[in-house]
Amino acid sequence: MHLGVNRWWRDGILHVHTVGPLSLAKMLHHKGLTVASAHLTSDSLRGSIAGARHYSSFSARYLQAFYNSADVVLAVSSDVKSLLIKDAVTKPVVVLPNRVPRNLFFSDLRSKDEARSQLGLDPDAKIVLCVAQLQPRKRPDVFIECARNYPEATFVWVGDSLFGPLSAERRSLRQKMSDAPRNVRFTGVVDRQNVAQWCRSADLFFFPSEQETFGLAALEAASTGLPLVLRDLSVYDDLFGRRGTDWISAATVSEFTRAVRQVLSDMPLRQSLSRNAVETSEKFGLQTLAESLINIYEEFQT
Give the gyration radius of the chain's Cα atoms.
20
102-283: CATH topology: Rossmann fold (3.40.50)
* Residue pLDDT tens, the chain, 302 long: 567 777 777 889 999 999 999 999 999 999 999 999 998 887 776 655 555 565 678 888 999 999 999 999 999 999 999 999 999 999 999 999 988 887 787 777 678 999 999 999 999 999 999 999 999 999 999 999 999 999 999 999 999 877 666 666 778 888 999 999 999 999 999 998 999 999 999 999 999 999 898 989 999 999 999 999 999 998 898 888 888 889 999 999 999 999 999 999 999 999 999 999 999 888 887 778 888 999 999 999 86
> CA-CA distance, 77 to 219, in Å (whole number)?
13
Q: Strand pairing partners for 15?
A: 35
The secondary structure element, H or E, covering residue 122 is none
> CA-CA distance, 238 to 244, in Å (whole number)?
14
The upper half-sphere exposure of residue 259, i.e. CA atoms within 13 Å in the direction of its Cβ, equals 27
pTM score, whole prediction:
0.84
The upper half-sphere exposure of residue 155, i.e. CA atoms within 13 Å in the direction of its Cβ, equals 26
8 A C-beta contact, residue 50 and residue 167: yes
Which stretches of the chain are DSSP H helices?
Answer: 21-29, 56-68, 78-86, 102-105, 109-119, 140-149, 170-178, 192-201, 216-223, 235-240, 253-265, 267-281, 286-301
Q: Give the residue extent of every domain in the chain.
A: 13-99+285-301, 102-283
